[in-house]
Structure 1
Amino acid sequence: MFLAIDVGNTQTTIGLFDEEGASVHGWRMSTSRTDTSDMLDSRLHGFFSKDGLDLSSVDCAGLACVVPVLTRAWSKCLTDHLAQPPMVLTPGEWCGIDVDMPNPRSVGADRIANAVAAKRTYGAPVIVVDFGTATNIDVVDADGKYRGGAISPGLMLSASALFSRAAKLSSVPIEAPAHALGDTTETAVQSGIVVGAAAMAEGLVGRIKEELDIPEAPVIATGGLARTVSKATTLFTTVDPELTLRGIVDIYQMREERNPR
């Protein structure tokens, strides 16, 4: 079994995959920069025990992490279980896709994982919109190269900024309203946050498609709020919530094929 872990700034997603790369189970937890390897070990055991799974069945793992202190903690936790270090996605290392950017080492591991999985699953060109702490747009061009994209504040960051300055709005649920024109304060806020995020994605993706001349490129939504935003737009070809985790699996498999142990 393979354990894929995507550590974001706000949430961490964990996926268990079989030898064929098929998803077996998944979990999501809050990211805490104070977690130690022992605390992460306890969480892993709790997840597996709760769902009747055996952690000892995991024999390899991969990690994409945007929080450096947690890269060390997760690496130690996983090494203690596997008796070997996990694969850690490091910017600039070979990941099975050409990064056509001035500084490939500046690209986040999660963005590369998204690009690899999208290319392998949907072909090239392809565009990914990842709704996490930040909203990331990642682009694979017609030649199969990763070209970069766009990064903007995520929905919850925007909502938190608004709510912290406007106390009366803090109880508004983050969901797609029926219409862009809000006729109550609640639906007006929902429109601004959710429909606004959808409109931003539509605008940026449209400009990127025009700049790269890839008008027919599929657009894949992923991330914790992808389904919410997808209800406010027809932009997305599909919603693929496991895309980042699958990218970690794909990169591991490609590295094993390239340099078998």
Structure 2
Amino acid sequence: MLLAIDMGNTQTGLGLFDGDALAYAWRMPTDRSFTADELHVRLLGYLHMYGLSLDCIDTVAFAGVVPQLSREWEQAARRITERTIAVGSATAQVTKLRAPNPAEVGADRIANAVAAETCYGAPAIVVDFGTATNIDVVDEDGYYIGGAIAPGLRISMDALVARAARIASIPLDVPERAIGRTTTEAVQSGAILGTAAMVEGLVARIRRELEAPEACVIATGGLAGLVANATDAFDVVDQQLTLKGIAEIARRMGMFESAE
């Protein structure tokens, strides 16, 4: 089985693939203080939840945006198997990028582009709701060509609460209307409906630039489901898109085989 690891700035997603199927998935905090030992113990715990052991893992593939934690994960992975690979320069031959500075493109964005083309076709637009809200664009030939990066929904909310003395922490719920009748509703409208409106506007502009009005729009990331309830901009909500992209890259590198 293949263990795919998506290390974000706030959360880390883990997925265990059996052939094409994502058999198990977990999420954990991204803590920069974690050592390889701590990661090893946590992974053991997740596997034991389902009666599994480290012996079931023969390949580990990961994409990370936190360099120091990537090194710790690599050490933890090599305790399990020598078949490990990180999305990036080592996998460039099996990914398609049309970017002025390919080294600047985050590994998670590369994985999203690969998964979007593989699972949903091209052209495609991926909106990833994480620490940042990333929009990744795949052209008609399946190449990642760029996108947009905006502050994530939680970052925006945290900043508002920290700077506005009269606003306490407010739950992230989709309001019934854009005109908030209370402070809570007004903040929810600005944060959630505002994020949805931003996505709608950027998706419309990107489709025009691509000259592809029917380009598939995929939402992923921890808050994808929440924002999807506030807009009809998305054709698909796929919470595991990044993990699927990591697994696909490992397959293309010949490190993992699809089910027949």
TM range (shorter): over 0.9
Aligned residue number for residue 10 of structure 1: 10
Give the Cα–Cα distance (whole angstroms) in 2 for the partners of residues 79 and 155 of structure 1: 35
Give the Cα–Cα distance (whole angstroms) in 1 for the partners of residues 84 and 162 of structure 2: 39
Aligned residue number for residue 195 of structure 1: 193
* Paired AA for residue 181 in structure 1: I
Q: Determine whether 1:255 maps to 2:253.
A: yes
Aligned residue number for residue 45 of structure 1: 44
**1:137-170 residue CA offsets vs partner (Å, 9 max, x unmatched):** 0011112211110001000110110011124433
* Paired AA for residue 141 in structure 1: D
Q: Unaligned regions of 5+ residues in structure 2, if any?
A: none
Paired residue secondary structure (1:245):
helix
Aligned residue number for residue 175 of structure 2: 177
Paired residue secondary structure (1:169):
coil
Instruction: Check conservation: 1:6, 1:244, Cα contact below 8 A.
Output: yes
- 122, 135, 149: which is aligned to 1:124? 122
Aligned residue number for residue 78 of structure 1: 77
Give the Cα–Cα distance (whole angstroms) in 1 for the partners of residues 13 and 225 of structure 2: 16
* Paired AA for residue 129 in structure 1: V
**1:34-65 residue CA offsets vs partner (Å, 9 max, x unmatched):** 11000101111111112322222111110100
Q: Report sequence identity in percent.
A: 52
Instruction: Check conservation: 1:6, 1:63, Cα contact below 8 A.
Output: yes
Aligned residue number for residue 162 of structure 1: 160
* Paired AA for residue 120 in structure 2: Y
* Paired AA for residue 27 in structure 1: W
Aligned residue number for residue 60 of structure 1: 59
Instruction: Check conservation: 1:219, 1:237, Cα contact below 8 A.
Output: yes
Root-mean-square deviation over aligned CA pairs: 1.5
Q: Determine whether 1:232 maps to 2:230.
A: yes
Instruction: Check conservation: 1:7, 1:66, Cα contact below 8 A.
Output: yes
**1:65-92 residue CA offsets vs partner (Å, 9 max, x unmatched):** 000001110000010111x151101258
TM-score norm. by structure 2 comes to 0.95
Q: Which moved more, 1:85-94 or 1:97-106?
A: 85-94
Over 3 Å counting, the alpha-carbon distance change for 1:187 and 1:119 in structure 2 is same
Mapping of residues 133-172 of structure 1, within 5 Å:
133-172=131-170
Over 3 Å counting, the alpha-carbon distance change for 1:168 and 1:43 in structure 2 is farther
